[in-house]
Chains A and B, each alone.
Chain A
Amino acid sequence: MSTHQDHSLDSFGDAAASATRVTPGNALRPEDIALQTDRPTEDVAQYALRLGDDSLVLAQRLGHWISRGPEIEEDIALGNIALDLLGHARSFLTYAGHAWDKTEDDLAYWREEDEFRSAWIFEQPNGDFGVTIARQLVVSVFQRLLYSRLVNSTDATIAAISAKALKEVDYHRDHATQWTLRLGDGTEESHRRMQEALELMWPYVDELFDDDELTERIGAVGVLPSSLRAEFDAEIAAVLDEATLTLPAVPRASGGGRRGEHTEHLGYLLAEMQVLARKHPGATW
């Protein structure tokens, strides 16, 4: 990681601030997290980093849709979802960064590809609208289940960020579900495209539910991903069934995002995201 020490958050270091600002259900902002003084342990920080990276990478993907959606109303909808995710990412990264005296931007812009801890599905390309919706369906159902557990995290900050995120990803799930129904049970063409999109996305589903040493070690701070699987499968099956779509039977991709091993797509995504910031080391924006 770079030693770049730019604290560009306006309110960083406000002496009047205290951890009591963070309460579950409040409209929690990344700026509020930045004001907190308590440091997460290395494990908690690593866990927050995963959550942050998942959302950051997906927000970056969705941001590309704005001005390219199938209808202007949908530009706005996808923009809202991207903004929500970016908000979650900023909160989690800010919190993780406390462990290493890094800001959200240090972590977003100055880490290398193999330092990112996002799962593979988040970095998969947008494809057509169907592919984006297939990715959204998987991710939003997963994230809703995840945050519905994390609101009870023994770590107060993770619980608070999750409480805010839960309401938002619940809407993302609704959005993805509505579109899955319409594309699946719309026209012949849309049905075909949506089924293909699911096949394309499904190899990356399993990785989301892999437990590993970190998720086992942190216990009640987090949640064992495998414990969410049954509910995920049931929810997805119900949506696909109503949408007249079939659950893909494709082999899983190996995965490895949580260890910093990524698909070929992440490098390009980061190159684009980081290019300007890296051209001006030490600059504030």
Chain B
Amino acid sequence: MAAAALQPVPASAPMSDEDAAGQAYFDRIIAEDSRIEPTDWMPEAYRKTLMRQISQHAHSEIIGMQPEANWITRAPSLKRKSILMAKVQDEAGHGLYLYSAAETLGTPRDVLNQQLLDGKAKYSSIFNYPARSWADMGAIGWLVDGAAIANQVPLCRASYGPYGRAMVRICKEESFHQRQGFEILLELSHGTPEQKQMAQDAVNRFYAPALMMFGPPDDDSPNSKQSMAWNIKRFSNDELRQRFVGMIAEQVKVLGLTLPDPELRFDEETGKWIHMELDWQEFKDVIAGRGPCNAQRLARRREAHENGAWVREAARAYAEKQNNKRKAGAA
């Protein structure tokens, strides 16, 4: 079976009968394109891959709140303020859905959170770019959420049940995020010359980072093959990037803006979109912590966590007191 073939058992550690049976069962579920559930036997590498992917995804939602929260207090109309608040709040919710899925794999949220605060866990590098103008709220919604949706829709069918279910919920909610972003840009591009310029500038800055959200090219993405064999990933990075760039190339016309990509064209012969060379060195730098906002984003997360410690402690202490009272009352 394909999945088993990609999971060589080291000769030094022969599988126990139990593990062999588990592996066979797991392989059958994957081959049938059915779902693995939390209490099922699963290969350790599968568990680790999922844990890494889901927790990174959760961290991205939580860190991703910051560039947009940055504009809640300055949103230029009350309607936009409501929309933005609801959106950032949704992201907190999405983070929680995902942590909830990650926890079913056996690692508690506080451990995952600590990995984030210690700088040991990764999150989507796009959120290490600053949201400089109001138009960035548009570009983030249209391009960043757009790319996220393109990534996430296939994940609704991920082989790990809790992950797929979290993604279904998230995808339903995300479609509003992309639309509101698009409409912000639409409004700006039909507004004053300064507004249109603001919109174009935001698109210029977020275009390449958004394309990089799909991850490195297929020939430089060592983990992709295994993830696809396990039915976690359904399409390769380049396939998803293709699909996305094709969509935004059309949508940008409605906006009356341009994409900052002189090489962008549809190649009739191959049926593929050609886009500019992306700066993968920058991508790696930002992931490694050298982006414009990495330090700021983590500092804010740590600050919230530390400032909240006394509150969390108080609530637990209160719960314990109440429990004791109840027990004393019952005795």
Contacts and interface: CB of A to CB of B under 8 A. Distances in A.
A76 B82 contact: no
A30 to B, nearest CB: 8
Interface in B279-311: 300, 303-304, 307-311
A277 B72 contact: no
A185 interface: yes
Given A66-B89, A86-B82, A280-B194, A190 B314 contact: yes
A236 to B, nearest CB: 19
Q: How large is the interface on A (under 10, 10 to 19, 20 to 34, 35 or more residues)?
A: 35 or more
B232 interface: no
Interface in B78-123: 78-82, 85-86, 88-89, 92-93, 95-96
B83 to A, nearest CB: 10
Contacts of A79: 85-86, 88-89, 92
B73 A186 contact: no
A60 B92 contact: no
A105 B307 contact: no
A167 interface: no
B96 A73 contact: yes
A83 interface: yes
Interface stretch (B13-21, B49-57, B156-164, B184-192): B184-192
Interface string B175-201: 000000000100110011011000000
B312 A70 contact: yes
B85 A70 contact: no
A64 B317 contact: no
9 contacts: A56-B78, A79-B88, A86-B82, A89-B78, A183-B314, A186-B313, A277-B76, A283-B194, A285-B187
Given A66-B85, A129-B307, 12 more contacts: A30-B78, A30-B79, A63-B72, A68-B303, A69-B308, A76-B89, A79-B85, A83-B82, A105-B78, A108-B78, A280-B192, A285-B187
Interface of B: 62, 65-66, 69, 72-82, 85-86, 88-89, 92-93, 95-96, 134, 184, 187-188, 191-192, 194-195, 300, 303-304, 307-318, 321
Top-10 shortest CB links A-B: A70-B308, A186-B314, A190-B314, A79-B89, A70-B311, A67-B69, A182-B318, A67-B65, A277-B76, A63-B72
